[in-house]
Amino acid sequence: MRPAAVADTLGRPLRDLRISVTDRCNFRCTYCMPKDVFGHDYAFLPREQLLTFEEISRVVRAAARLGVEKIRLTGGEPLLRRDLDQLVRQLASIRGIHDLALTTNGALLARQAEALARAGLRRVTVSLDSLDDTVFAAMNDVSFPVDCVLEGIEAAAAAGLAPVKINMVVKRGINDGDVLAMAERFRGSGHLLRFIEYMDVGTTNGWRLHEVVAAHEIVQRISARWPLEPLEPNYPGEVASRYRYTDGSGEIGLIASVTQPFCQGCTRQRLSAEGKLHTCLFATTGHDIRTILRTGVDDDTLGNRLAEIWTQRRDRYSEQRTHATTRQQRIEMSYIGG
């Protein structure tokens, strides 16, 4: 029997849990982990502060009893977490979890895709912001080549993690000139390309509204070359607006948190690597779950705490962004997961 999902103060059910397994990353993307902040001397979380795989699994079991059906593993870069396939195997066996996915920069995907698929991973999303090595290197800021990410995408597809989703964060004046090239590369490939508006997650990426390329502008650019038509959402609360090519060459997605906020349908909760639960991507604070786990509470007490956090939720940052008068210190994306 499907559990009755708890609802927050705005009536939104809890369906999705995004779990950051590490705050470390091997990229220094300028919109997420700018090198001038996350330099060589940056103090990442020590291993003993990270949730263990058993602790993560316990949270997921409790969340599943509250209605969570979808789990996404994030970071940092999740493939830096040692033996990640063991965690995937544990989560894949939890009753009520129907979708287990992972978001990665793709750098280590080619060597790990098969093991992750065997362990029970169902889907993978790969971040790729340009096909031009110069542009991509400038954005990841570690001179990582595009071909290695493309190799990871193909390895994931070969392992059965298809269709692979490719996420492109579009920033005006940096990589917006690559929109059509990305669309052309993945049209008819069987993969799903999604364009993401540059967001003001955290407070270190220097976000400015004029650098946002609105989703409707991206659709216009692509449709002028390859006509598009809108599609209905796959399910209630889907964050990406869907469009398909009228010639049958597949579809694209647009995630428009800035210009078309979707707070009203948000069913996502986020668990950071060291066990803080956040009810919004743009959160300023979190709720300590690690201490609860490590003080020996029973499963009912843990579940009640998770339910309490969700039922008190009232976040709708993206809808309120234009009315904000102050810029609060928010949790960084590399810490909370995308």
CA separation for the pair 62, 330 (Å, rounded): 27
Structural domain contains residue 1: no
Phi then psi for residue 19, to 5 deg, are -120, 115
Structural domain contains residue 284: yes
Mean pLDDT by 10 residues, the chain (338 residues): 76 96 93 87 93 98 97 96 98 98 98 98 98 95 96 98 96 96 97 91 65 95 98 84 97 90 85 93 86 95 96 76 52 62
Give yes or no for a contact between 35 and 137, defined as CB atoms under 8 angstroms apart: no
| Residues in a beta bridge with 13 | 7
Retrieve residue 273's tokens: 């690597």
The predicted pLDDT at position 31 comes to 83
CA separation for the pair 199, 170 (Å, rounded): 10
The predicted pLDDT at position 13 comes to 95
**Coil, strand or helix at 146:** helix
Beta strands of the chain (E only): which ranges? 16-20, 70-74, 99-104, 123-127, 165-170, 192-197, 228-231, 241-245, 251-255, 268-271, 276-278, 287-288
How is residue 3 annotated by DSSP?
P
Domain count, the chain: 1
Structural domain contains residue 8: no
DSSP string, 228-286: EEEE--SSTT--SEEEEETTSS-EEEEE-TTTS--GGG--EEEE-TTSEEESSTT-S--
Residue located via tokens 């080619």: 110
Give yes or no for a contact between 215 and 228, defined as CB atoms under 8 angstroms apart: no
- For helices 53-64 and 84-92, give the axis angle rounded to 10 degrees: 20
Q: Go through 216-251 and write b for each residue having 16 or more CB atoms within 10 A of its CB, e for each that does not.
A: ebbbeebbeeeebeeeeeeeebebbbbbebeeeebb
Give yes or no for a contact between 337 and 283, defined as CB atoms under 8 angstroms apart: no
CA separation for the pair 197, 240 (Å, rounded): 11
Task: Give the pTM.
Answer: 0.92
Give the CATH number for residue 265.
3.20.20.70
The predicted pLDDT at position 326 comes to 47
Structural domain contains residue 10: no
Task: Compute the CA torsion angle 206, 238, 334, 87 (nearest 10 deg).
Answer: -170
**Domain membership of residue 207 as a residue range:** 16-336
**Coil, strand or helix at 92:** helix
CA separation for the pair 133, 328 (Å, rounded): 35
Structural domain contains residue 236: yes
The predicted pLDDT at position 10 comes to 93
The predicted pLDDT at position 282 comes to 74
Structural domain contains residue 181: yes
